[in-house]
Chain A
Amino acid sequence: MSPHIPLKGAQASQRIAFGLLTLAAAMVVLPLLLVMGYIVWQGVGAISWEFVTAMPRNGMREGGILPAVVGTVLLTFGTAIAAIPLAIGAAIYLAEYAGDNWFTRLIRLCIINLASIPSITYGLFGLGLFVLFLRLGTSLIAGSLTLGLMTLPVVISTAEEAILAVPQSFRVVSISLGGTKWQTIRHQVLPQALPGILTGIILGLERAAGETAPILFTVAAFYLPRLPRSPLDQTMALPYHLYVISTQVPGMPLQIQYGTALVLLIFVLSMNLGATVVRSRARRRRRW
């Protein structure tokens, strides 16, 4: 195709290099596919209606994982409540209000910093502030706030990108028709940016739902065979439960471990799928 006449050696080294590149790509993807297939194969036998709807029995070695499933669902909702209003507000500020000055740069630096803080450090902070200082104890509230804080930077940056992607003409027309700045944002910009914002929220929550380190000291109960009764109650959660049964409980049947891993994986990846669906549907219906 290309109109040049390369040397023989150059072609040979190209062939070797491309072979290695292909091999590397295969080494990234194939082991994970194999291993995930292995989880499905091993875990699918453990999953039944009873497994996800029954209380654990006999020190978790029998029965189901209902409290862990419910705990993770509640924590995900709690995280959403804690993170979304603040994150969307911050995204709107950065995209529509912030000027090009040192204050904005400082905010961006802080958001990068928030995104870089290791999850276990969030766990420490949650323990220090929510659990001990504010005396919320190890509770759903403390865990949700900790996870919400961790989710903030992800949602802020994706939401800001979505808002910035709305063409300027939408704003110009709205303002020229006499709309105020906020009316323009509320009725023109946000509806157009909604799918992008939603995608960001789902991806942020997906990450929060699978996290273990931030909930270790803020919410997670080792073994609590009942459902949480109030936001101030402790709860089990899927990721922590998987950690506990695979490392802390001797004589744990392997099948229950695989089953729990599979349920967590399905929970998280279906959120991922949801985000993909939202994104591709929005792309098809986009008006610009």
Chain B
Amino acid sequence: MNGLKRIRGGGFHWGEFAIESFVRVAGGSAIFLVALIFFFLLREGTPAFWEVSLGNLLSTRWYPTFGFYGLLPLLYGSLLVTVGATLLSVPLGLATAIYMRELAPPWVREILKPLIEVIAGIPSVVLGFLGMVVVAPLVRQWLGLPTGLTAFTGSIMLAYMALPTIVSIAEDAIDAVPKAYRDGALALGATHWQTIYRVVLPAARSGILTAVMLGLGRAIGETMAVMMVTGNAARMGREWAALFRPARTMTATIAAEMGEVAQGSAHYHVLFAVGIVLFLVAFAINGVASIIALRGVPRRGGRLIR
């Protein structure tokens, strides 16, 4: 009823025009902001490419004090930690999502759902702290390593950072599978597990893939939890054992070194260039995720069984 007494006949309302203009500008602001962010990253980062030779940037040595700016060990570190995190978090997250949707009694779901939201809310620096004081010593003892601050420890922390994303999106995807599919499978004599495995999961495929991609995106951009537990040694190992040695990611490198460099130095520009790489990688991962998500939406009566 509130609105009624404010109505004036016809005419042009300046107040309304102003506020609607603001709304329109705000709507377009996202485009402006992305452009602004990219512009500033480029502005500060591109000088790196003529201050430091390409051969140097593509070398395997990161030692900025002596002018070695090889980005490969950092890329390698990020990749190693992220792959480790994906291997841990995807099976765990997917299984948890299936458990919550298909198996858990209602009261368990009522507890699990808010709990997973709480996990999503834990600040990464708190997880990093926990990783340092609890997880790293355990990793060192159980695996008999000289130090617990390894890429593997980082993977564990990252897996837990990515899990809430994976669980909640995969859960929605499983939930979106029409009930008729399930009923059809059960009526044909399949067990509950066969129904999940052969019918529900394939039907929820695109949503699950989206969940995995978004979890991956979360993992590769994570900074604090990784920086505090990976030991931060910029090295490249060719063998699997590298996972159990210290590593250094792109994010951790920026966080650890930006505070100490002089503005405008080559080191400063290279760190911004690393930021550009991160920006592009995250954009690509999320782009793929949203393409998968968009493709998978209308799925009615399509081919399910090959």
Chain A interfacial positions (CB closer than 8 Å to B): 2, 4-6, 10-11, 13-14, 17-18, 20-22, 24-25, 27-29, 31-33, 35-36, 38-39, 85-90, 92-94, 96-98, 103, 106-107, 110-125, 127-129, 132-133, 149, 152-153, 156, 174, 177-184, 186-188, 206-207, 209-213, 216-217, 239-240, 242-243, 246-247, 254, 257, 261, 264-265, 268-269, 271-272, 276
10 A-B pairs with CB atoms under 8 Å apart are: A10-B190, A18-B103, A24-B95, A27-B92, A32-B122, A89-B23, A116-B217, A120-B251, A186-B3, A211-B123
Within 8 A of A (CB), among B30-59: 30-31, 33-34, 36-37, 40-41, 43-44
Q: Are A11 and B191 touching (Cβ within 8 A)?
A: yes
Q: Are A210 and B95 touching (Cβ within 8 A)?
A: no
> What's the minimum C-beta distance from A206 to chain B, rounded to whole angstroms?
6
Question: Which A residue sits closest to B217, measured CB to CB?
Answer: A116
Pick from A128, A184, A217: contact of B40, CB under 8 Å: A128
Apart from A117-B279, A118-B279, A183-B6, what are 15 other A-B pairs with CB-CB below 8 Å? A4-B187, A4-B189, A14-B192, A24-B91, A25-B100, A38-B134, A97-B24, A117-B37, A117-B283, A174-B3, A177-B7, A180-B16, A210-B121, A246-B129, A247-B132
Whole-angstrom CA separation of A220 from B129 in the bound complex: 18
Whole-angstrom CA separation of A254 from B23 in the bound complex: 50
Whole-angstrom CA separation of A226 from B21 in the bound complex: 43
Q: Are B282 and A116 touching (Cβ within 8 A)?
A: yes
Write out the residue numbers on chain A whose beta carbons fall within 8 Å of the beta carbon of B99: 21-22, 24-25
Write out the residue numbers on chain A whose beta carbons fall within 8 Å of the beta carbon of B290: 112
> What's the minimum C-beta distance from B102 to chain A, rounded to whole angstroms?
8
Q: Does B194 contact A (CB under 8 A)?
A: yes
> What's the minimum C-beta distance from A211 to chain B, rounded to whole angstroms?
7
> What's the minimum C-beta distance from B210 to chain A, rounded to whole angstroms?
12
Q: Does B236 contact A (CB under 8 A)?
A: no
Q: Are B40 and A125 touching (Cβ within 8 A)?
A: yes
- Provide the B234-275 mask, 1 if CB < 8 A to any CB of A, else 0: 000000000000000001001100110001000000011001
Whole-angstrom CA separation of A179 from B16 in the bound complex: 12
Q: Are A113 and B41 touching (Cβ within 8 A)?
A: no
Q: Are B217 and A93 touching (Cβ within 8 A)?
A: no
Write out the residue numbers on chain B whose beta carbons fall within 8 Å of the beta carbon of A246: 128-129, 132-133, 228
Q: Does B79 contact A (CB under 8 A)?
A: no
Q: Are B30 and A152 touching (Cβ within 8 A)?
A: yes
